[in-house]
């Protein structure tokens, strides 16, 4: 296991002294330890998973006898010319040391990097406090899992997710209650519907109560859950049944505890969030119709606490979650309709806005969800599913500030990237296409900072309309365009050159520039290694168009009447096969196939061959295709619909899941669309939604570069 940074700092003086002694006392001529690189991950990387693979190289004239990462021995098949090791990651800031040894010398710090592990946030909704670990445990619908947050000192970790723990997924987790004694979280899954039990130590998930587990009234649309240790039960609000359901903690059996027939008082309209006072014998329920209701834990009787004709103050709009403050005889209510947090006096029912549009400084909530009172700090911690983030609300002033968010790098984090290219000259940057913003984005490496390189404001030349793909041109190309970016713009029907330093745009080929039939609906671009030509996939014409980069002339080389073989049906991306420059690899979204196009002139020029599809090669068929990149093992393809990366064996057509789902630790993949090989290190840069990740292709592990 890696050490946190503060632990490792204490070891440095001792290790350095040990290394010095080892070298100084050597009686042999070789007094230089092996050199090493750490190719994956990178200095400053942000990891989310409980483990991560580290890869690199090492060399020494005398031979390398061992490589360690944080004292864990690396594995090798070629005498450490290449090595790898998988390590458990603690939460927080990490200090990583690569040690190398030959027969005579040892360097404990051949490579040093700093990195971080924190819990991913996607769409956090409901929370519960685990007093045994002083940790907030909250559901995350987007993550399909649980995340834990220790407020002081602040640290987060994903506790259960598709790659953390086994068992059924938490596909629609909307509520959670924690039994700190047993270390179990009980999670409402509205999509099943069911209650799941999650072991908080390893993330293992089991069905605790559903239509086939436990007997009694089946859940319909469960929303939230409270742990009633005194009654040995869980109390679940169910919007579909308009009821509170009691679930036995031993058997998982279900019975109606309070509804229009069971217990007295007005019937539920839309029961949602809950808070329990086991000592006082009451359950408090937010009814999204505009009420907070107290339910007697013995009888199920319902009494309005606030809302409607009960209590003074502004009316509720859509009260959803709530938290008790019994010491002050009050309740805090998250009202999604008002975009505000309200305080309710439990004696009078009076309502006062604590924080929201009318109270407190700071940005307004986007979509505030559940909340928790941090009495010691005099604040409320509030989940926001849209940002996503955890807010801190000062109880005295109502001021709002971000307490925790999962992000890396500066700049607009709302940019959705569709394609990515490495910097043409190996500079410390990559470039992404933000199609929805009609912009090319520069992402600095390794900082992850995001800036606009070219859009309607930045750079000169024809304004981008609908850019769809980007490729870099190596310096010194045949056409003399080296050092720039090739950008396909579907809206302009053009191939452009974008200066990678200034963002200036020049049309290389369109209906008015260069000879040949105009583009119909260009979508992707690949470039010849010599920089002489580019190939544009034309989705509208179902063809591949070759563009002379010196003249802009266009000629259809495959599709229509050019070339034989299966007709294209929406070719979207392409790349020249680095192992066989005589063919182009085309991702066809309509065919759901990888298609090879013969580039060499003469017989067979432009011919198309299916390399992999539902009928060619074993493995699950593609659900969609987007960007792709070559790896040592084959072609890595983005499947946005399946939210995964697929490795394609170009000889057999076999498809295997390479990253996403339950393969690889790291952030979940959401519509992965752009992929490019990293220069100056290991891994593939991947854009998926607003995230830019670095993927280790052999095991699928992922770390965040920019978000």
Instruction: Find the CATH number of the domain harbouring 359.
Output: 2.120.10.30
Question: Residue range 117-145: average pLDDT?
Answer: 93
Question: Would you say residue 532 lies in a domain?
Answer: yes
pLDDT digit string, tens, across residues 585-602? 999 999 999 999 999 887
- Per-residue CA distances from 463 to 454, 496, 520 (Å): 9, 11, 19
71 and 216 share one domain: no
Residue 13 pLDDT exceeds 70? no
pLDDT band at 73 (very low <50, low <70, confident <90, very high): very high
Residues 130 and 113 in one domain: no
pLDDT at 7: 46
- Asked if the structure places residue 409 within a domain, the reply is no
Q: Is the domain of 376 the same as that of 490?
A: no
Residues 199-231: tens digit of each pLDDT = 999 999 999 999 999 999 999 999 999 999 999
Residue 629 pLDDT greater than 90, yes or no: yes
Q: Determine which helix (DSSP H) or strand (DSSP E) holds 178, and give its type and residue range.
A: strand 173-179
Continuous H helices in 333-372: none
- Is the pLDDT at 74 greater than 90, yes or no? yes
The 10s digit of each residue's pLDDT in 183-201 is 999 999 999 999 999 999 9
Q: Are 520 and 537 in contact (CB under 8 A)?
A: no
Is pLDDT at 446 greater than 80 in this prediction?
Answer: yes
The pLDDT score that the predictor gives to residue 600 is: 87
Q: Band the pLDDT of 17: cuts 50, 70, 90.
A: very low
**Are 253 and 128 contained in the same domain?**
yes
User: Is the per-residue pLDDT at 476 higher than 90?
Assistant: no
Q: Is residue 412 part of a domain?
A: no
- Comparison of pLDDT for 705 and 481, the residue scoring more: 705
pLDDT at 547: 96
Domain limit, last residue, from 86, 117, 148:
117
Together in a domain, 138 and 212: yes
Does residue 92 fall inside a structural domain?
A: yes
Residue 678 has pLDDT above 50, yes or no: yes
- Rounded Cα gap, residues 138 and 128, in angstroms: 6
Does residue 414 sit within a domain?
no
> For residue 569, which phi and psi values (nearest 5 degrees)?
-150, 75
Domain assignment present for 308: yes
Statement: residue 11 has pLDDT above 70: no
- Among candidates 623, 597, 581, which has minimal Cα distance to 536? 597
Cα–Cα distance for residue pair 529/526, rounded to 1 Å: 10
The DSSP output letter for 210 is: B
**Mean pLDDT for all residues in the chain:** 92
Q: Please give the Cα distance from 170 to 191 (Å, whole number).
A: 9
In this structure, the answer to whether residues 200 and 339 fall within a common structural domain is yes
Tell me, yes or no, whether 499 and 588 share the same domain: yes
Query: Could you count the other beta carbons within 10 Å of the beta carbon of residue 504?
Result: 17
**Domain with 642 in it:** 419-706
The pLDDT score that the predictor gives to residue 370 is 97
Confidence of residue 474 (pLDDT cuts 50, 70, 90): confident
Distance from C-alpha of 151 to C-alpha of 211, rounded to nearest angstrom: 37
For strand 135-140 and strand 608-612, is the pairing parallel, antiparallel, or unpaired?
unpaired
Q: pLDDT of 318-351, one tens digit each?
A: 999 999 999 999 999 999 999 999 999 999 999 9
Reply yes or no on whether the pLDDT at 418 is more than 70: yes
Spatial separation of the C-alpha atoms in residues 8 and 350, rounded to whole Å:
54
Q: How many domains does the chain have?
A: 3
Among candidate residues 197, 190, 200, 260, the one with its CA nearest the CA of residue 224: 190
Answer yes or no: do 532 and 580 share one domain.
Answer: yes
Q: Is the model's pLDDT at 367 over the cut of 60?
A: yes
410 located within any domain:
no
Last residue of a domain, one of 404, 431, 458: 404
Yes or no: say if 368 and 341 are a contact pair by the CB < 8 Å rule: yes
283 occurs within a structural domain = yes
- Specify whether 285 is located in the same domain as 218: yes
Angle ∠(472,477,482) on CA atoms, nearest 5: 45
| 144-157 mean pLDDT | 89
Q: What is the pLDDT of residues 261-284, one digit of tens each?
A: 999 999 999 999 999 998 899 999
435 and 382: one domain?
no
Quote the CA–CA distance of 223 and 244 in Å, as a whole number.
10
**Looking at the chain, how many residues does it have?**
707
Q: What is the CATH number of the domain that holds 101?
A: 2.60.40.650
pLDDT at 609 over 70: yes
Q: Are residues 56 and 135 in the same domain?
A: no
Which residue, 117, 150, 181, sits at the end of a domain? 117
Q: Are 492 and 456 in contact (CB under 8 A)?
A: no
Contacts made by residues 70-77, CB under 8 angstroms, sequence distance 24+: 70/1, 70/2, 70/3, 70/8, 70/96, 70/97, 71/99
Whole-angstrom distance, CA of residue 648 vs CA of residue 633:
8
Q: Are residues 391 and 440 in the same domain?
A: no
Provide the pLDDT for residue 12: 37
Q: Running DSSP on this structure, what letter comes out for residue 464?
A: P
């Amino acid at each position: 296991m890696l050490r946190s940074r503060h632990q490792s700092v204490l070891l440095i003086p001792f290790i350095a002294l040990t290394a010095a002694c080892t070298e100084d006392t050597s009686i042999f001529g070789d007094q230089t330890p092996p050199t090493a690189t750490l190719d994956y991950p990178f200095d400053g990387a942000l990891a989310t998973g409980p483990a991560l693979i580290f890869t690199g190289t090492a060399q020494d004239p005398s031979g390398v006898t061992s490589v360690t990462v944080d004292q864990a021995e690396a594995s090798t098949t070629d005498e450490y010319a290449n090595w790898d090791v998988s390590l458990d990651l603690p939460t927080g800031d990490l200090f990583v040391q690569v040690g190398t040894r030959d027969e005579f010398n040892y360097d404990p710090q051949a490579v040093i990097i700093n990195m971080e592990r924190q819990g991913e946030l996607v769409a956090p909704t409901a929370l519960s406090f685990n007093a045994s670990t002083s940790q907030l445990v909250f559901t995350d619908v987007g993550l399909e899992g649980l995340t834990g947050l220790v407020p002081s000192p602040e640290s987060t970790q994903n506790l259960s997710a598709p790659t953390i723990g086994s068992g059924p997924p938490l596909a629609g987790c909307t509520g959670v209650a924690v039994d700190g004694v047993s270390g179990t979280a009980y999670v409402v899954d509205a999509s099943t519907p069911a209650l799941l039990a999650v072991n908080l130590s390893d993330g293992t998930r089991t069905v605790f109560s559903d239509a086939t587990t436990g007997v009694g009234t089946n859940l319909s649309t469960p929303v939230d859950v409270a742990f009633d240790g005194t009654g040995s039960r869980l109390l679940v609000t169910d919007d579909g049944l308009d009821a509170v359901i009691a679930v036995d903690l031993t058997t998982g059996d279900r019975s109606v505890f309070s509804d229009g027939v069971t217990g007295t008082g007005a019937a539920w309209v839309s029961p949602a969030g809950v808070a329990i006072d086991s000592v006082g014998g009451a359950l408090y329920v937010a009814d999204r119709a505009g009420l907070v209701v107290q339910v007697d834990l013995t009888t199920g009787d319902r009494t309005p606490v606030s809302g409607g004709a009960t209590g003074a103050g502004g009316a509720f709009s859509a009260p959803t979650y709530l938290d008790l403050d019994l010491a002050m005889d009050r309740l805090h209510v998250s009202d999604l309709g008002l975009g505000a947090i309200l305080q309710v006096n439990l004696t009078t029912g009076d309502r006062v806005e604590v924080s929201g549009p009318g109270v407190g400084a700071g940005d307004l909530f986007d979509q505030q969800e559940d909340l928790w009172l941090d009495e010691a700090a005099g604040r409320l911690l509030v989940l926001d599913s849209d940002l996503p983030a955890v807010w801190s609300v000062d109880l005295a002033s109502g001021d709002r500030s971000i307490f925790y968010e999962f992000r890396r790098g500066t700049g607009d984090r709302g940019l959705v990237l569709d394609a990515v290219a490495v910097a043409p000259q190996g500079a410390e940057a990559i470039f992404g296409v933000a199609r929805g913003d009609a912009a090319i984005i520069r992402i600095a490496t390794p900082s992850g900072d995001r800036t606009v390189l070219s859009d309607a404001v930045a750079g000169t030349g024809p304004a981008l309309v609908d850019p769809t793909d980007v490729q870099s041109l190596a310096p010194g190309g045949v056409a003399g365009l080296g050092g720039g970016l090739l950008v396909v713009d579907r809206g302009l029907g053009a191939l452009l050159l974008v200066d990678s330093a200034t963002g200036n745009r020049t049309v290389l080929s369109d209906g008015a520039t260069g000879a040949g039939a105009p583009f119909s609906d260009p979508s992707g671009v690949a470039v010849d290694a010599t920089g002489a030509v580019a190939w544009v996939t034309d989705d509208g014409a179902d063809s591949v168009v070759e563009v002379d980069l010196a003249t802009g002339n266009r000629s259809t080389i495959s599709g229509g009447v050019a070339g034989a073989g299966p007709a294209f049906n929406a070719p979207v991306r392409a790349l020249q096969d680095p192992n066989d420059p005589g063919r182009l690899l085309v991702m066809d979204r309509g065919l759901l196939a990888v298609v090879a196009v013969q580039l060499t002139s003469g017989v067979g020029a432009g011919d198309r061959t299916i390399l992999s599809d539902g009928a060619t090669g074993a493995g699950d068929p593609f659900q969609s295709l987007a960007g792709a990149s070559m790896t040592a093992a084959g072609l890595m393809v983005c499947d946005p619909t399946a939210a995964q990366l697929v490795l394609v064996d170009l000889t057999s057509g076999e498809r295997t899941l390479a990253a996403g789902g339950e393969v690889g630790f790291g952030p979940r993949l959401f519509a992965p669309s752009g992929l490019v090989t990293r220069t100056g290190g290991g891994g593939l840069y991947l854009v998926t939604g607003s995230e830019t990740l670095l993927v280790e292709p052999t095991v699928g592990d992922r770390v965040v570069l920019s978000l």
